[in-house]
Structure 1
Amino acid sequence: MAKTYAIAIVGIGKITEDQHLPCIAKNPRFKLTGLVSQRGVARDGVPSFKTLGELLNSSTTVDAVAICTPPNARHAIAVEAMDAGKDVLLEKPTTATTLETADLVAHAAKTKRVAYATWHSQHNAAVDEAKRLLQGQRLKRLHVEWKEDVKRWHPGQEWIWAPGGFGVFDPTINALSILTKILPGPLFVTSAELITPSNRETPIAGKVSFRSPAAASGAALTAEVDWRQTGPQSWNIDIETESGQKLALREGGSKLSVDGKETVAAPMEEYERIYEHFAELLDKGESDMHYAPLQLVADAFFVGKRVATDAFHW
């Protein structure tokens, strides 16, 4: 019989409420045994603590910890958990900086713990099929359109506008995670515009250009992202190969059309698959900590030009 792992969640916000708690509840490989919430969020029958230290010093059984705090707190929490002999799952983006994530890779190896950097948008059948179709191909055109409503997905969350909060690149990293999985070669940022409200520190929109050794001469590789879109949300990736094949990933990578014909349309079960994969990693005692999407965001900030725009208010 497969082992059931006792798991605690650190950080109880919208994504935890919408995805992590429901997915843990319906996965027989996990049992929720603890919550850590500075705001004191509780669930019937599950003990709640203000800090991870309080949880670790209690009699609560915990095998693994899912870290769902804002990014700037994740490195310290993950180190504390691994030092206490716990395996860790990290919401995306893994940490606030690339070196923090690199350190967690090394720390997991040092402590012999499992560490898993989750990139939920990679866990779609349409993404897997797009990867298969692009193997050995050269890119003629790539365009990402990732536009959504920040007020809908991050209501009142001020941390996203602070340094280390990523701004619009918090959702954009989902598109980048898909690209790092499906493209037949690495992707590099060549330029970026970071469109930033006058009263905020991180961008609300942006434009990014890329290059890749897998691209044909003169290929256009671009992304346009925005957090001001109301109504229907746009999570689209369009790719044309040098051979003329056109791939269209829609609805965050859950649907794929090839040359105008829909070939994959599956329900969005990204977080269900995250926990399925985490159970597999725990069974094997293996980590999965690739972080190329985080590096692409960091490079966009590194080479990006700040462009001022109107103030943002909730």
Structure 2
Amino acid sequence: MTSPIKLAIVGVGKIVYDQHVPAIAANAGHFTLVATASRNNTIENIPSFPTIEAMLEARPDIEAVSLCMPPQYRYAAAHKALAAGKHVFMEKPPGATLSEVADLEAFAAKQGVSLFASWHSRYAPGVQPAKAYLAANATTAMHVIWKEDVRHWHPNQDWIWQAGGLGVFDPGINALSIVTEILPSAVFLTKAALEFPENRDAPIAADLHFQDAAGIKVHAEFDWRQTGPQSWDIIVTTANGEVRLANGGARLWINGAEQQLEKEAEYPSLYQRFADIIRAGKSDVDVAPLRHVADAFMLGRRKVVDAFHD
């Protein structure tokens, strides 16, 4: 039996309490949480430090680090952890730019440690069955509807509205991570419109059009202003009927028949994957979803809309 990997978390916030801590507990055979570094928050009964530098100096026995701070601040922390010889798990999105993620991937290889760009929505229970169906049934079109209430999911989180915080692409990149996982062929952006509140540096809505080399079209609608029921749906038309993923991939219908799926375990599956690549001496750094977001900012037509206030 291999001993559990000694893991630390940097950046303790809501996602850590809601997802990472339970997922690490569910992977007790693979990981043991030994420390945290965060400016404001701690985890009960776990040693805490104000900075990653202080943590790494005090706890040289740490073997892996999960980075859960906003993407604008992730590169520096990741570089410090890799330089110290630690394996690194990066919450989505893996960074603020494609260039910094590429640099981290090269540095991890040089250091001989594993780097993991995690995409939790790819581990939703309906994603792999949908992928298998689309591999056997030609896609003719796809419509993505990802609309939610930012006031409910991200209250008073100013970083998400700052440049590099991604705005509506913070949830929208989850949809793109599923799209890039389930489609048999790669798509590229052809047109985009981004809506920016007049008092914010990140978009509150986006309308995106993609296609692949064969001309198959994908239309994605992201909006952070939806109240009431939330929409996290992907509808795929195929030569042999319709595939519908709902609730972010938690439910799946094929030709109108709902499929029996495994229990939801997105974050436990992420930590299982992280353990697997560490044991195998590999990295997993797929930036396809982030590349689509970068393309949207590059190609998108900008529209200024009413100011947004929490």
Using structure 1 for the length normalisation, give the TM-score.
0.95
The yes-or-no answer on 1:230 pairing with 2:227 is: yes
- Give the structure 2 partner of residue 129 of structure 1: 129
Kindly indicate whether the alpha-carbon contact (under 8 Å) linking 1:33 and 1:60 is maintained by their aligned counterparts in 2. no
Question: Offset of 1:305 from its aligned partner?
Answer: 0.8
Q: Deviations over 1:149-195 (max 9, x none)?
A: 11121111001111000000010000100111110100101111101
- Give the structure 2 partner of residue 246 of structure 1: 242
Distance 2:224 2:211 in 1: 24
Structure 1 runs, 4 residues or longer, greater than 4 Å off: none
Distance 1:275 1:294, change over 3 A: same
Distance 1:59 1:160 in 2: 31
Q: State the identity as a percent.
A: 46
Map residues 40-119 of structure 1 onto 2, 5 A cutoff: 41-59=41-59, 61-119=61-119
- Give the structure 2 partner of residue 142 of structure 1: 142
The 3-state SS of whatever aligns with 2:159 is helix
RMSD (Å), alpha carbons: 1.3
Kindly indicate whether the alpha-carbon contact (under 8 Å) linking 1:6 and 1:62 is maintained by their aligned counterparts in 2. yes
Structure 1 portions without partners, runs of 5+ = none
Alignment size in residue pairs: 309
Structure 2 portions without partners, runs of 5+ = none
- Give the structure 1 partner of residue 7 of structure 2: 7
Match of 2:37, as an amino acid? V
Match of 1:268, as an amino acid? E
Map residues 144-223 of structure 1 onto 2, 5 A cutoff: 144-215=144-215, 219-223=216-220
Using structure 2 for the length normalisation, give the TM-score.
0.96
The yes-or-no answer on 1:308 pairing with 2:304 is: yes
The yes-or-no answer on 1:258 pairing with 2:251 is: no
Question: Offset of 1:60 from its aligned partner?
Answer: 5.7
Kindly indicate whether the alpha-carbon contact (under 8 Å) linking 1:113 and 1:285 is maintained by their aligned counterparts in 2. yes
The 3-state SS of whatever aligns with 1:252 is helix
Question: Offset of 1:61 from its aligned partner?
Answer: 2.8
Q: Deviations over 1:114-152 (max 9, x none)?
A: 000000000133111111111154432110000111112
Distance 1:99 1:137 in 2: 36
The 3-state SS of whatever aligns with 1:188 is strand
Match of 2:203, as an amino acid? P
- Give the structure 2 partner of residue 35 of structure 1: 36
Kindly indicate whether the alpha-carbon contact (under 8 Å) linking 1:148 and 1:229 is maintained by their aligned counterparts in 2. yes
Kindly indicate whether the alpha-carbon contact (under 8 Å) linking 1:257 and 1:264 is maintained by their aligned counterparts in 2. no
The yes-or-no answer on 1:272 pairing with 2:268 is: yes
Relative to structure 2, which stretch is displaced further, 183-192 or 225-234?
225-234
Distance 2:156 2:180 in 1: 31
Distance 2:73 2:59 in 1: 24
Distance 1:183 1:214, change over 3 A: farther
Match of 1:7, as an amino acid? L
